[in-house]
Structure 1
Amino acid sequence: MCGALEVLEGRDAVQRDLDRLERWDCANLMKFNKYKVLHLGQNNPKHRYRLSREWIERSPEEKDLEVLVDEQLITT
């Protein structure tokens, strides 16, 4: 899941998506066990997000499909 967060509405949209994901999770009797926030961009406000009542941990880098992405990635 990702979003452009130059304004507070973007932050709120990502949180709404996380809330929907949580409802889907509960309705389907599933539990997500790995989730982290990776902030990209030079002027990223680094908002905090929650899933259920827990704050999602921030990570400086993540690997997906053997590709390592870190917060130093410059977006244009």
Structure 2
Amino acid sequence: EKDLGVLIDHKLDFGKHIKTIVGKANRVLGMIRVSFAYLNIRMFLNLYTSLVRPLIEYCVQVWSPYKKKYIKLLEGVQRRATRLVPQLKKLTYEERLTKLRLTKLEDRRKRGDMIETYKIITRKEKVL
């Protein structure tokens, strides 16, 4: 069943949803790769943060993965994406993140969860 763009099964497992969005994100990365002969850091960041990351972070507080295989699958999207910048290809993933001033997706999810929790506790955001 799909609700607000999030696939949910009867066991409340979001594996199918995660696999679907990873597939979509990888297709977008493929389009970026074939559409641009050269990507500098600024171009990459604009494309990645506007076209790819929203796909893998939409409603993430609802379906945030807890299984390592899904965490790894999602992080793989960003790992592949950072290799699109020619000048960073030979660096490790962590070094690429540092150069691009990005954080791991898992860390972004944890930060987002903490912010949402704070807003709910301090009543800065209404809960349905």
With the shorter chain as reference, the TM-score category is: 0.3 to 0.5
Using the size of structure 2 for normalisation, the TM-score is 0.32
Structure having greater relative contact order (Cα 8 Å, sep ≥ 6) = 1
